[in-house]
A and B are shown apart, each in its own frame.
Chain A
Amino acid sequence: MDIFANLAHGFAVALSPINLLMCLIGALVGTLVGVLPGIGTIATVAMLLPITFGLPPVGALIMLAGIYYGAQYGGSTTSILVNIPGEATSVVTAIDGHQMARQGRAGPALAIAAIGSFFAGCVATVLIAVLGAPLTKLALAFGPAEYFSLMVLGLIFAVVLAKGSVLKAIAMIVFGLLLSMVGSDIETGASRMAFNIPELADGLGFATVAMGVFGFAEIIRNLDAGAEMSRDLVQQKITGLMPTKKDLIDSTPAILRGTVLGSILGILPGGGATIASFGAYTLEKKLARDPSRFGRGAIEGVAGPESANNAAAQTSFIPLLTLGIPPNAVMALMVGAMTIHGIVPGPQVMQKQPDLVWGMIASMWIGNLMLIIINLPLVGIWVRLLRVPYRLMFPSIVIFCAIGIYSVNNAPVDVILAGVFGLVGYWLIKHDFEPAPLLLGMVLGPLMEENLRRALLISRGDWSVFLTRPLSAVLLAVAAGLLVLTVLPSLRSKRDEVFTESEN
């Protein structure tokens, strides 16, 4: 069996002391980010990109991956104990998890969240290992036309899964595509929309924009609401982590369903951990025999979403590793991390860099194991961190972000640009535009343009090539179908329902 040989190789790589250390650091930082509200995964990964310069590529990617799935664990802790979701992915966990904590059952809630996450993490790890090779083979059959159509499909998925107006989400994607075109043209070398500013000749840095739109904008927005967020800590001691037998029986099917749903949503381009947890919560509520229990401390409402977000966080590596297409903004930053180390993401990575791919996959399982230990016995420490007031946290985050961006290129202009994009992001939030599709558009922009040009060059300017090649036609048809479905009123109300779930 190839898979076992590969996995064994991966574990050999991941268990080396330096990689274990990287994995632990990633898991710790991820938990920290997940616990602290006001700083998200995207901003953190962007901030830590320059740090990975000095690391070996495998260690660097293991650490960055650890931050992403570690944040899913950390987010659940504060959601349950304090009713403050540290991450968007844990918003729904707060609904039932915090109710359980109020009823004195914080321990079981935390335990089930961790067990569910761990189970989902294990399944997702195996899934990546199993799906990796066949998808890579499929990817080799892809020509430029297919790649272009696949990216269109991914962007449409992002629209469907984004909350709010479909029109605005599409506009954000196109805005992102447009931003990606600033700088030198790949084929002709002509300087595009750079206004003779030398720093723009290379294009807008993705990390810079991400940090502005997600890091700085978030801080500015939080200041609007008043720096002092209400934090009524659950003060009583957490007694007894062990869930009862009934808890386990109730939550097992929820964990299984959450894992399946999360894995699927993670693989789809444009999906990701946030939508997975929302979807899982809605699913549990629909399937429950007594839906009224939800919102009053139903353990399925914790088990389902927590498994789903962790599964999705990990399976979203599949399109990146096999097709070289980042399905969400965090994965886009991973592309940045890979390119820093001279690795071009795509089907060839599996063959050329087995250490990297399998080491990373194995490290995910090890990381999940570490996270259980980090989160369950040490939960008291993380909760204490929440007492750090936001008035001290936000200037620190500003400084860390600024130093982080500066050190990517040692360019002060990058810092100014990030500040500008912080204001842009603030404006977007105020006008109810989602920033996530913008980033996805910006990442996929160069890839899309390149493949579009290549496809049209090969077909000698014939646009019908996208419809005559069967694979490409199928992908485009799915995209069109999805878009039509989203606009239909009946589905639209359902989609709104998923997103308003957190508000009641």
Chain B
Amino acid sequence: MADTMGHSATATRNTRLALGFCLLAIAPQIFELIWSIGTIFGWGAGRGPGTVLTSHVTALLAGAPSAIFGSFGGGTKKMSSEVLLALIYTYPLLVVAILTLFMTVRSAQDYVGGVVLMAVALFALWAGSDLQGMRGFSFGAGTAPRMFSGLLVALSAAIALTGLLTDGPAMAHYSWRGPLFVVAAILFFALAIRPLGVVVTAFISFMIAATGSQETRWREAVIVGACLTLGCAILFPYVLGLPMPMLPRFLIQ
């Protein structure tokens, strides 16, 4: 009884892992799609979401297999970057995801760590695929990146393997509150420093970051935040002479 329960628990866990890896496998495509939505509103140049979606879907479904079979036929047609992405990055990860379903993961920490690192390495392999390789005996721009990405693929595969073969810790617990608010504070700072200036940005970022802990006492945080903002406003632009906007742009004009 206990045995079967344990088995079904690992089974559901593996399904979740495999689903996660599948998502990881198409993450660059999804990212580009979300990014391209901006072009509808006229932010940034690039392809619209429609073209992005169709080109990736055709690359994933039809382009890549035909490229494989085409290469047997001796075709040296240059492959598009979508097809390369599918071939170099997405397919290997999908294979890993499928294999995961049949494995007993003994240390999720190592296994997931290895697979995600492998994804990074494969992605780097794709990102460097347009660069020139060896020219005679001299290195091209792409030689070293390809060498090290290849090495990282091998190493991360070995790490994932240790996760399968040896017992080790399970996945660590992630909390969401700290990372979310600290990153939000950093993002806000980056986006607001130019238009809003140091004074406003530093104070608001301080308050956003302070939200990341349950133990924050608001009155205290407001006082310290105000003092810190004042200190920064004097220290960085005046004492250290770093050029920085002080007040919001609309106030100066």
Contacts and interface: CB of A to CB of B under 8 A. Distances in A.
Interface in A391-424: 391-392, 394-396, 398-400, 402-403, 406-407, 410, 412-413, 415-416, 418-419, 422-423
Given A181-B148, A223-B175, A392-B220, A398 B209 contact: yes
Given A190-B132, A423-B179, A449-B144, A178 B224 contact: no
B138 interface: yes
B250 interface: no
A461 B138 CA distance: 7
Residues of B contacting A: mostly: helix
Contacts of A427: 116
A192 B120 contact: no
Contact of A178 (B124, B138, B177, B214): B124
A214 interface: no
B193 A422 contact: no
A175 interface: yes
Nearest to A175: B152
A406 to B, nearest CB: 6
Interface residues of A, number: 67
B182 A174 contact: no
B224 A392 contact: yes
Contact of B138 (A415, A418, A456): A456
Interface residues of B, number: 75
Contacts of A413: 190
Interface string B119-156: 01100100110011000111111101100110110011
Contacts of B148: 174, 177-178, 181
Contacts of B243: 410
A462 B198 CA distance: 56
B198 A461 contact: no
A422 B137 contact: no
B175 A406 contact: no
Interface stretch (A48-56, A345-353, A364-372): A48-56
Contacts, number: 205
Interface in A419-443: 419, 422-423, 426-427, 430-433
Nearest to B227: A396
A228 interface: yes
Contacts of B213: 223, 227, 390-391, 394
B190 A415 contact: yes
Specify which of A178, A400, A413 lies most central, judged by the most chain B CB atoms within 10 Å of its CB: A178
Given A394-B209, A422-B186, A403 B155 contact: no
Nearest to A441: B148
22 contacts: A54-B240, A171-B155, A175-B152, A178-B145, A190-B141, A192-B131, A224-B173, A391-B221, A392-B220, A395-B185, A395-B207, A395-B212, A400-B232, A402-B189, A415-B186, A426-B179, A431-B113, A452-B139, A456-B139, A457-B139, A461-B136, A461-B137
Interface of A: 50-51, 53-54, 165, 167-168, 170-171, 174-175, 177-178, 181, 185, 187-188, 190, 192-193, 195, 216, 219-220, 222-224, 226-228, 389-392, 394-396, 398-400, 402-403, 406-407, 410, 412-413, 415-416, 418-419, 422-423, 426-427, 430-433, 449, 452-453, 456-457, 460-462
